[in-house]
Amino acid sequence: MTVTYTRIPMKEPVDCAPQPANLQATTILDIHHDEVQRIAETLAHEVMPDRTRLQKAHALLISLLRPVYSVDEWRPTSKTLRKRRGSCSQRMACLEAVARAMNIPTRVRAIYVKGSFWYPRFRFTRPFIPKRILLVWPQFFVEGTWLDFDELYAPLEQLVVSATHGFANDSESLFEAVRETPVDLLGKTCGMACAKPEHDLSRFVLEDKGFFDMRDEAFERLGSFQRTLRGRLFEAFFGDRKSS
């Protein structure tokens, strides 16, 4: 049987120049905290392109932060760094905070993703997962353009050629996977001759809400799972448990 699905049209990228809001501290991105500054300072003294600096920051955060489940989207990055563990979203926030502390502007793209995207990780507890979940996907302003988190290490055209598999969300997390695996939630690989169907994850996207200068603004305007009853129950049962 052939399975078909309707792709959600993505909003066109906004290639505007960074604004002051793309570098400022926020409740989540508390970039002036010692925990954030310490990481930024370890990378600041070396001369390297900003993209390489981001890759090093990402690798360092992977080594420092154990992957766990959590829907606490409002947790300050300094707290995640102190706890030495975080969800994918919390660790993405840490990378954003470190980037801003290194004077690299950031923003996020807000997309609603089907709850089924996370089913492989919660085979027996799917009632905890809502039908749709807000995901904020970071972008970084490097080399005069906005770079999506999924292309931090290489363009997707290159990743689909070198990758041995697609992202199945059943073992390695989103945060680690972008190093070598196409994590294409934005439908960039659709139509690429070298891409396989499993590379295009845009089938899980329900709605694209566009760009926000700060992740705090995205959650403030669109809400977050953690502030629902199901989200509070999820955090009570699964919060800070090892991700697998």
Q: Give me the chain's average pLDDT, please.
A: 90
Better-scored residue on pLDDT, 152 or 191:
152
pLDDT tier at 10, thresholds 50, 70, 90: low
Which pLDDT belongs to residue 3? Answer: 35
Better-scored residue on pLDDT, 188 or 25:
25
Which pLDDT belongs to residue 9? Answer: 53
Q: Which of 127-131, 206-210, 213-217, 218-222 has the lowest average pLDDT?
A: 127-131
Is the pLDDT assigned to residue 100 strictly greater than 60?
Answer: yes
Q: Where are the domains of the chain?
A: 20-242
In the chain, alpha helices (H)? 34-44, 50-64, 77-83, 88-101, 156-162, 174-177, 215-222, 229-238
| Residue 172, Ramachandran bin (φ over 0: left; ψ between -120 and 50: alpha; else beta) | beta
Query: How far is residue 105's CA from residue 138's CA, in Å, rounded to a whole number?
Result: 11
**Dihedral, CA of residue 50, residue 161, residue 198 and residue 141, to nearest 10:** 10
* One CATH from 3.30.420.40, 3.40.50.1220, 3.40.640.10, 3.10.620.30 for 20-242: 3.10.620.30
Q: Which of 156-165, 177-186, 190-199 has the lowest average pLDDT?
A: 190-199
Confidence (pTM): 0.91
Which pLDDT belongs to residue 181? Answer: 93
For the segment 138-156, the average pLDDT, to the nearest whole number, is 96
pLDDT tier at 244, thresholds 50, 70, 90: low
Is the pLDDT assigned to residue 58 strictly greater than 70?
Answer: yes
Considering only CA atoms, give the Rg of the chain: 17
Which pLDDT belongs to residue 127? Answer: 79
Query: How far is residue 67's CA from residue 48's CA, in Å, rounded to a whole number?
Result: 28
Query: How far is residue 126's CA from residue 161's CA, in Å, rounded to a whole number?
Result: 33
Is the pLDDT assigned to residue 14 strictly greater than 70?
Answer: no
